[in-house]
Structure 1
Amino acid sequence: MAEDVVQYPLEWEADVVLRDGGVAHLRPIQPEDAEAIVRFHERQSDESIYLRFFAPIRQLSERDLRRFTNVDHDDRVALVATHRGEIIGVGRYDKITPTDAEVAFNVSDRHQGKGIGSVLLEHLAAIGREEGLTSFSAEVLPQNGKMLKVFADAGYSVSRRIEDGVVQVHFDIEPTEKSEEVRLAREHRAESLSIARLLAPRTIALVGASREEGRVGHVLLRHLRDGGFTGDLYAVNPHADDILGVPTVDRLGAIEGPVDLVVIAVPAEKVLDVVDECAAADVHALVIVSAGFAESREKAGLKLERQVLRRARDSGMRIVGPTSFGLVNTSPEVSMNASFAPSMPGRGHFGLFSQSGPLGIAVLESAHRRGLGLSSFASVGNRLDVSGNDLMQFWMDDPATHAVGLYLESMGNPRKFSRIARRLALAKPVVVIKPGISRYGAPPGHRVRDTEVAPEAFAAMLGQAGAIHVENIHQMFDVAQVLIHQPESSGSRVAIVANSAQLAQLAAETSVSWGLDIVGNPTSVPPDSELDAFLRAVGEATHRPDVDAVFLCFAPPVEPVTEETLDALRSAVAGSDKTCVATVIGSYGVSGGLAHRAPTGGGAGETVDPARELPFYTTPEDAARALAAATRYAAWRRRDKGTLLPRQGVDRAAADALIEPILAQCPEGRDLTEDEVWRLLAAYGIDLWSRLPALTEDEAVDAARTLGYPVVLKSTSPLVRAQSVLTGVRIDLQDDAAVRAAFRSLSQALAPFDADHFVVQRMALQGVSTVVACSEDRLFGPVVRFSLAGISTDVLGDIGYRIPPLTDVDVTDLIGSIKGARLLDGYRGAPAVNRRALADIIGRVSMLGDDFSEIASIELNPVVVHPGGVQVLGATATIAKRAKRKDAGRRTLT
């Protein structure tokens, strides 16, 4: 039978975080689930059974059991949610028509209230859209308030009517602005809670605790103890009665009550057994500091890592690591130093994330040296599970965190990163260090896909999200000092006050190079003036209404800078609402940072960064760069973020009807024909101009008469594209004679290069030729490109990038991001073009690429934009088998 040979859709499997912060596994149902379904059904209450089946069916028949567990994953789709190997929820749909399906859910009584029904609905809707469905229907008893609430709260426009005592529910499953808000809000709450439990555990157990000094298990236990952890701490070691005064048990099961966090410091080959023991003890999260996994480049290490992840996820546990440097929470209510940091970092408002252990050390040392306090810190090593995305979700809600720093050695899910960072950056600044984005930039052990995107695309993604991109740790803390300790910049107008003309000039030139505007002339008091004269000049600058920021530059005339001098500089700006930075040079006493405020010891109870502090820098270049970054971020926060692009004139079903048969015939995909490209673009409201092939003069003339004069004759060979020497086009041909002459001329010139393949097209209005394109990247998903046609793209690389989904502001920014954008506004007397029409084309291409991962690439070239609108004169597209995106419109841990 056909149902016995259906292909299991592995891509539908997903791990999801539930409302309580735990983890469940979603997967398609299988015939082998029959016994598990029987157990699930037997555990359900009479009420739950009646609400699901409208009858008191205590025992499932063999016929029903077979029907439930044997589906074709097409007309009939069913997903199960599992926890610790047991089914805790079932969701299914059965097609009623080619575009509508009846949907139903059943959630375990013991696991209700965790959002399982909402997750199942979300995943079924995403699958349904991929399979061509546009709506769901359901029959619900009026007393089943929980299920009615699942539909009502999903964000769709739900219609209801009562028929024969049953509520008939119907709604479209195309995402709406509200449904997307609901989905992202639920994802945020769940993942934030999951990390909150990780960073604020009530009970910690260290497996691998050692009595021997210098051993990893001894060092970590000492740091946890000395850090003053406020919860219950246990050392797990079957061969010791006492270690460092910490209560010792021989196994996790001997600990009374729940264990929130287990730190694992045993050899890699023993980790799997510890994970199983943690699962049996219902542990919430693990920190694995052990090495010897995928980073070893050995197949055995990679296999072991995958086994650890699967067993942990199946048991609902989160993982930090392997090869983690550890976790820190400086809150006095927690005071957790579960890391290799020898002392607890000072308490402050900067949340830090690092993937690398060694770089984690460098990050913490740099923060300590500058006196910059931390709220929390996480090092995730191989990033097997918990990632920077998870931490950002937590920091979004954490009142102790005012700014976030991320050192990213690799990126597993850029699309999810982009949308989370964007939401976070609206409230708190996000500073990102990312050395490289190619496969060469990912360290061993990091699960990351190869990418073909240019570095500029990654930078554009950060810009879209409002993140501040810096090059190194030094720059990250330079910027953080301004963001955390100074008022948000209200503009780019800067007043410079210096006690050296040369220093003032250097500060001004550097500031201008970073896009800041100098107000008037830099104020320079004589180097031998009293400090009071300098401070008076600073005070005057802070009170100027035409100034947004004040840049202090101080060089001690003779003696080294004293703490009294620094305090005087702080006091001079303390009451100002301006953003202030200072450069103090020529002194051994100031090494940058918050100057002399770094603590000499540790202690979570010691706050080292007061709410207002003047950041000091050793060079004007560092100060100007940091101030400029903070200014740009403030400007991004103030500006309109736009709205998602409207979908008027978009027929997704028509595009799907074109793509699916092609992939059915050619599973690996192929280039589309001109007619197919025309139909694909037409489905998204893009009018591609017709062009007719011409192999002979007579065919060229016939084509011209069909299209109507004037026409263009051009070669289709890529050899002549953007050539300044070898010309492949003749324009403004007004009659038959002109077409014949052009054909003979081009044939003679191009035949030696096998480039004499021609098409005839109507003559476009004079304008600016541009290129609009979108390609599917294995890591980033769809990437939209915009550029001018010709040399500026092919040779100079003047290309703008954005990652969908785009807002109207994103499209406007993309157009203005290229250096050649000046040509669009009128250049040397030419009229300005219609940017709105160009933006509409870009938006439609972005929606097409975002909707279909099967579109490997699509390029509109040229798109001629003129004062009256746009004309799409050429286009190519390639279809490939559907790519499994990391962020596919449904909640999942990746």
Structure 2
Amino acid sequence: LFDLCQGFLYVPPPSGRRVAIVTNSGGPGVLAADRAEEIGLDVAEPGAATKEQLSRFLPPHCAIKNPIDLTVEGTEEDYRKTLLAISEEYDAILALNVAPPYLDSVPLARGVCDAARQSDKPIVASFLPRQVVADAIEYLQQHGVPNFATGERAVAALARMAQYSEATRKHPVAASPPRPIADSPTRSIALVPEAMAWLRENGIPVPEFRFAATREEALRGCREIGYPVVMKVVSPQITHKSDVGGVVVDIENDDAAQAAFEALGNVAAGKDFRGVVIYPLIRDAQEVLLGLSRDPQFGPVVAFGLGGIYTEVWHDVSLRVAPVDRAEAERMIREIKSFPVLQGVRGQPPRDLDTLADVLVNFSRLPFRYPEIEELDLNPVFLFAEGLVVGDVRVIRRAPNSRSQPQPKEQAKQ
């Protein structure tokens, strides 16, 4: 994970899987090439035209295949020219240097950095051993070229970055949203009724619900939905309703509904009480959560895990940079520790993981369609044997002066 972070920090993700390896030592170059092929990278030899170009300036004893072996005699100019010559043919390049203690590796690092500056392809390095090439590593990092402990780790990072690039191409995002989340441009937290309607418009299943600002409206809403129902307080000043007694469940008749409305009004005493939202009582469902937030480096990040009031206790979540495709959504679902619960245990039926994966994909794209989203939490999401519905939603919007249309992350070179 640290290797992947380093890669994204310094270079843009590769646009494809063709990788070239330039080395001064055959063995480490072959190890990196073998690992690259194992994890799905294409380590093809250069084309005839590129080989001809390389042969014009490289000595005859150099291996012009892939890896391209400059041998221990490789110079600053050899690295620079070789990297630039092959950059048009490959999506990413690894520059390997296994340094003997009697040679200064800083000139080789300078050649790599010069090529990286002139090329628009990601060029990464693996200079080793660290105790011999410490000055060269410092030079690489100061000039925006990440250095990895081994060639194998370098190509592993490139493979994951290429996977991310492929995912963003599969799911292009809309240029602009159909309409804003809420009508007021100054409200930072969208209230639950309007947020639920917004989710429904975006294809995320929500249960039937009613908003009620008065006792009479609450009674009418309960009757229209049908008892038993759940009633929740609506106030922009109350985010975690369960913590303050802002949820009343299993309301079975009009008397209980009136009492619940009064109780929720008391919960919001002294606050901006807007009313209540009413849902049908949902039984026999597994609670999960879907979340979105913004990371300073990676942009929108999507989370999945078990939901309900104990989310903060279990810390059983999986995270991905958004957006995710269907395959990645399925991996997110399967990697939480409590995944067996979703498959059905102790007589419980297996849950509808196909619908869950589809919703997770759709959910992960929302911050690109709606750039005003700062945070978005769906907790709980009620997952059934067939289908799901969102039980509650929290939307926090960006400040108006910070809005900008995000795009799937493509790092600029530093």
Equivalent position of 2:413 in the other structure: 893
Q: Gaps (5+ residues) in structure 2?
A: 1-10, 23-42, 59-70, 85-94, 109-123
Partner of 2:62: none
Is 2:177–2:369's contact at 8 Å kept on the other side of the alignment? Answer: no
**What is the correspondence of 1:840-879 to structure 2 with a 5 Å cutoff?**
840-850=358-368, 853-879=371-397
Correspondence 1:387 to 2:387: no
> 1:784, CA displacement in angstroms?
0.5
Q: Which residue of 1 aligns with 2:255?
A: 737
Alignment-derived partner of residue 153 in structure 2: 404
Check 1:672–1:730 CA distance in 2 against 1; reply closer, same or farther (3 A cut): closer
The reply to whether residue 799 of structure 1 matches residue 317 of structure 2 is yes
Are 1:783 and 2:297 matched, yes or no?
no
Task: Deviation per CA, 1:485-533: give whole Å up to 9, x if none.
Answer: xxxxxxxxxxxxxxxxxxxxxxxxxxxxxxxxxxxxxxxxxxxxxxxxx
CA contact (8 A) 2:192 2:392 kept: no
Cα distance change on mapping 1:878 and 1:743 into 2, 3 Å: closer
Looking at both structures, which has the greater relative contact order when contacts are Cα pairs under 8 Å and sequence separation is at least 6?
A: 2
Superposition deviation, residue 801 in structure 1: 1.0
Kindly state the Cα deviation for residue 865 of structure 1 after the two structures are TM-superposed.
Answer: 0.7
Partner of 1:656: 177
Instruction: Report the CA distance shift for 1:708/1:852 in structure 2 as closer, same or farther (over 3 A).
Output: same
Percent sequence identity over matched residues? Answer: 23
- The 1-side partners of 2:143 and 2:372 are apart by 28
**Separation of aligned partners in 2, 1:733 and 1:361:** 67
Secondary structure of 2:206's counterpart equals: coil
* CA distance 1:822–1:754, change in 2 (3 Å): farther
Distance 1:858 1:187, change over 3 A: farther
SS of residue matched to 1:702: helix
Q: 2 CA distance for matches of 1:675 and 1:741?
A: 21
Q: Which stretches in structure 1 are left out of the alignment for 5+ residues? A: 1-15, 18-179, 204-226, 234-258, 263-281, 286-326, 342-350, 366-376, 396-400, 407-416, 427-463, 466-641
- What does 1:327-346 align with in structure 2 at a 5 Å threshold? 329-330=97-98, 338-339=105-106
CA drift at 1:779: 0.5
Deviations 1:59-105 (A, max 9, x none): xxxxxxxxxxxxxxxxxxxxxxxxxxxxxxxxxxxxxxxxxxxxxxx
| Counterpart mapping for 1:310-709 below 5 A | 329-330=97-98, 338-339=105-106, 353=126, 361-362=130-131, 380-387=139-146, 403-404=152-153, 420-422=158-160, 652=174, 656-659=177-180, 666=185, 670-672=188-190, 674=192, 677-678=195-196, 680-689=198-207, 691-709=209-227
Correspondence list, 1:84-103, <5 A: none
Question: Displacement of 1:651 after TM fit?
Answer: 9.3
How far 1:869 moved relative to its partner?
1.2
Residue of structure 1 aligned with 2:230, choices 695, 712, 721: 712
Is 1:835 aligned to 2:344, yes or no?
no
Per the alignment, do residues 669 and 421 of structure 1 end up closer, same or farther by CA in structure 2, a change over 3 Å counting?
Answer: farther
Structure 2 residue aligned with 1:229, among 70, 73, 93?
A: 73
Q: Separation in 1 of the partners of 2:167 and 2:145? A: 31
Distance in 2, Cα, partners of 1:230 & 1:405: 21
SS of 1:782's equivalent?
Answer: strand
Cα distance in 2 for residues equivalent to 1:680 and 1:699: 22
SS of aligned partner of 1:688:
coil
Contact 2:225 / 2:280 at 8 angstroms: preserved in 1?
A: yes
Change (3 A) 1:867 1:328: closer
Instruction: Identify the range of structure 1 (732-741 vs 858-867) with the bigger mean alpha-carbon deviation.
Output: 732-741
- Flag the 1:284–1:184 CA change in 2: closer, same or farther, 3 A: closer
Report the alpha carbon displacement of residue 835 of structure 1 after superposing the two structures with TM.
1.7
Q: Is the 8 A contact 2:368 2:406 kept in 1?
A: no
Give 1:839 deviation, angstroms: 1.7
Alpha-carbon displacement from aligned partner over 1:402-449 (angstroms, at most 9, x marks no partner) = x2359xxxxxxxxxx96x33277x9xxxxxxxxxxxxxxxxxxxxxxx
Deviation at 1:860, TM superposition (A): 1.7
Structure 1 residue 871, shift from structure 2 partner: 0.8
Change (3 A) 1:697 1:879: closer
The change in CA–CA distance for 1:644 and 1:735 in structure 2 (over 3 A counts) is: farther
| Cα separation, partners in 2 of 1:230 and 1:728, compared to 1, 3 Å | closer
Measure the CA separation in 2 of the matches of 1:383 and 1:862: 46
Cα distance in 2 for partners of 1:328, 1:337 equals: 15
Q: CA deviation at 1:837?
A: 1.7
Q: Distance in 1 between matches of 2:56 and 2:270?
A: 72
Matched residue of 2:282: which SS? coil
SS in 2 for 1:229: coil
* Secondary structure, aligned partner of 1:185: coil
Distance 1:847 1:380, change over 3 A: farther
Secondary structure of the structure 1 residue equivalent to 2:153:
strand
Residue type of the alignment partner of 2:374: A
